[in-house]
Structure 1
């Protein structure tokens, strides 16, 4: 069980983790608590999303969409890696979670079952922090390196402050009973890793690795040294000639004694 962070504390832990922060006007007092009569918290997990569009900041932070008032997340993550604070209270990002899936994140299980509505549901907006990451979600729009790096850092910062493991970080598609598919899409790279396809298991592995280090840590971005090239025929012959000459000199020196 964890009490939601104050706005100042939330910003503080993200900055300590190396996340670049912006603040959407009014975010410190914006939430869905009063409108629904349901408070935010206690919180038990982080839920990750893609925006399914571009230039979505105002939609996520304030305007919402038809039938779903904003804010739609606590944090909007731009392709530049800038995290804009959108809400400090309850946000309309998670919807109904399947209880079996939610319980696996609550218990920080090493595996997470497919969400089954038959197991019952819980309102994910009450108990999870939501991150909306800018991406069209069409399977071709790429998450740049800076964006994915910040994504890992945000998840890790929340886990670190609440003493959660990386298994408290989930995807919308891993909890939703409404058939949500987010997040999805290709990632440009991370650390020394090249392009790969986003998946929750990999994100959790990257968060887990980060949690082994101080908040100031950054993954190595060095390029592995290329494999040595095979010697050419001329180089091999030259090496043999040098070896033979050296052996000849040693034999001559022994014979002269």
Structure 2
């Protein structure tokens, strides 16, 4: 049993374990306060998002859906191994799970099979959503798996917990399968919670946390042909390519070389997810300027 870490202590625990962290908006106060308890804390839960694209996934996990309001976790771990903090406090991530599993986590012993959904997990677990389609084909980059282990280890170290305090959503709630999929490449070895816990244990065996890594400075790429600032009629095809690469436009869309309705809808999704637009209270603007292009390319190349 443990009192929840403060938001600052939570952030320090992640960075102290060598995790690259991005703070998204007012994450420290974005939560489901008033909809149930927050604490005492007993462990860390790992999920997969069933989505593509960093910005798209972060926006969904921050804002949620009409039927399931956000935040849907505390941190989103992208395929480059960066943790995007989207909320802190009670979050809609764990749902109802098995009280026998909770008892095992508290005792730090192997969890039994989950066959009941009778205990509120949102009040008892920190949650990380990890970007993966969850189709058992989409691979988990090794850098992402390492970030998952380091994020969990940082929280466990801060609380004095062992690796058995880290569980997967599928170990908590009947019917869930996350996280799952191959490591490294399609057809690679399967990601399992046993492997994650083994790495967490290795990290915790170190007397002091790893030195935080220093993110490489970002150099915006050159504008694609036809997209340089000042062009009167930029190529819609190049725009569609980068929107698809960042997850804002379905890859199946085949729209002509024109700024049609599906391209407009994808741009609207981008602007809804873009931090500066959200901060300004804007929801849609048909134009993407130089800063927007740089942001889109940063997302595309960070995948």
Q: Same fold (TM over 0.5)?
A: yes
| Structure 1: gaps spanning 5 or more residues | 190-194, 219-257
Inter-partner Cα distance in structure 1 for 2:65 and 2:103:
29
Name the structure 1 match of 2:45. Answer: 47
Q: CA deviation at 1:100?
A: 1.2
Alignment: residue pair count? 207
Runs ≥4 residues deviating over 6 A? none
Matching of residue 92 in structure 1 with residue 86 in structure 2: no
1:183 to 179, 182, 185: 179
* Superposition deviation, residue 67 in structure 1: 1.3
For the 8 Å contact 1:73–1:132, the answer to whether it is kept is yes
Deviations along 1:1-25, whole A, 9 cap, x unmatched?
1111111111111111000000111
Please say if residues 99 and 116 of structure 1, whose CA atoms lie closer than 8 Å, have aligned partners that are also in contact. no
Q: Provide structure 2 residue ranges, at least 5 long, that are not aligned to the other structure.
A: 213-303
Structure 2 residue aligned with 1:200, among 193, 207, 213?
A: 193
Question: Higher Cα Rg: structure 1 or 2?
Answer: 1
Q: Which residue of 1 aligns with 2:16?
A: 16
1:188 to partner: Cα distance: 1.4
Aligned match of 1:238: none
Q: What is the TM-score with the length of structure 2 in the denominator? A: 0.66
Is the counterpart of residue 113 in structure 1 residue 107 in structure 2? no
Where do residues 140-159 of structure 1 align in structure 2 (5 Å cutoff)? 140-159=137-156
Query: Does the 8 Å CA contact 1:45/1:128 hold for their aligned counterparts?
Result: yes
- Richer in strand (by share): 1
Confirm whether residue 210 of structure 1 aligns to residue 206 of structure 2: no
Answering whether residue 123 of structure 2 is matched by residue 131 of structure 1, we say no
| Aligned alpha-carbon RMSD (Å) | 1.7
TM-score, with normalisation over the residues of structure 1? 0.77
Whole-angstrom CA distance in 2 between matches of 1:216 and 1:206:
13
Residue equivalent to 1:59: 60
Distance 2:7 2:111 in 1: 30
CA distance in 2, matches of 1:211, 1:28: 26
For residue 201 of structure 1, report the CA deviation from its aligned partner.
1.1
Post-superposition CA distance 1:215-240 (Å, at most 9, x none): 1179xxxxxxxxxxxxxxxxxxxxxx
